[in-house]
Structure 1
Amino acid sequence: MTPIVVPVPGVFPYEQLGFTNCVRHGDVLYLSGVASLDAQGQVIGDDIDAQTVQTYENIGRILAAGGSSLDRILQMTSFVVDLGRNGGGYVATRARILKQPTYTSAVIGVSALMMTGLLVEVQCCAAVSN
């Protein structure tokens, strides 16, 4: 099988950075790290709760473009700036968004992310809906 790049309208295009937002291989979507960015690449929100909500809205858009949804996430790795300060807020907000714990997860504390002002980035894979 050949990986297929999934075009995603309304989300900051990563191609200008040398990679893509989403690739489909078989019945699985693989998402690059997704953050709280608008379609122009500007950070949305200045606290962990607002950024977590926007990040999962972006993930939802990407998954929908590939024929999936948030409830089809299989695995995720979350990178949180200043885990001691922001980790609890991230996990609590994520739990309000993803109500069923049907995915595997790792939350990793980092000192910074690629763009100034970002507090969280989430990389995940999801099953394509049938």
Structure 2
Amino acid sequence: MDREIIIPDEMQEIVSRAGYAPAVKVGDTIYVVGQVGRTKDLKIIHDPLEQFRAMWDNLRIVLEAAHCTFDDIVEMTSYHVEMSKHMDVFRTVKNEVFPNGTYAWTRIGVSELAHQGLLAEVKCVAVKR
């Protein structure tokens, strides 16, 4: 089966800097790498609410480049620094963009993410309908 590399225009800089694809499509399945809350010029957003909004927006950008939406996500894993401190805000923002009860979700608490100041990272698998 052929693989299609998904690189939204907005994410060219991260691809050239970090060397990985934001998503890979195999058949009708899209594997999206961890998305975080930072600006297009890769600056970390320090306000938790705005960081989480940017994270979901970055995920939306990748999904749209693969011709998918949040409704196509079947499995999601989120990684959290200080999970208990930020989960209420995280869940509030998640519920603004995701339909409830339509995907499998695993939450994992971690001591740190790739860059200091990041509070959460989310990766997912979507199946294009």
TM-score (norm 2): 0.90
The aligned residue for residue 41 of structure 1 is 42
Alpha-carbon distance between aligned partners in 2 of 1:67 and 1:97, rounded to the nearest angstrom: 17
Q: Distance in 1 between matches of 2:86 and 2:15?
A: 26
Q: What's the CA shift for 1:37?
A: 1.8
Q: Percent identity?
A: 26
What's the CA shift for 1:4? Answer: 1.2
* Residue equivalent to 1:68: 68
Tell me how far apart the structure 1 counterparts of residues 16 and 98 of structure 2 sit (CA, whole Å).
Answer: 28
Moved over 6 A (4+): none
Task: Give the drift of 1:15.
Answer: 4.5
Aligned pairs, how many? 128
Contact 1:75 1:125 in 2 (8 A): yes
1:106 maps to 106
Unaligned runs of 5+ in 1: none
The answer to whether structure 1 residue 2 and structure 2 residue 2 are counterparts is yes
CA RMSD of aligned residues (A): 1.5
Once residues 39 and 32 of structure 2 are traced to their aligned partners in structure 1, the CA distance between those partners, rounded to angstroms, is: 17
> Tell me, which stretches of 5 or more residues in structure 2 are unaligned?
none
Q: Distance in 2 between matches of 1:31 and 1:118?
A: 18
Residue-by-residue CA offset, 1:25-75 (whole Å, 9 max, x unaligned) = 00011011000122221113x232211111111111100001101121111
Distance 1:111 1:105, change over 3 A: same
For 1:21, the equivalent position in structure 2 comes to 22
Q: For 1:75 and 1:9, how far apart are their aligned partners in 2? A: 25
Q: Is 2:51 the counterpart of 1:51?
A: yes
Partner of 2:91: 91
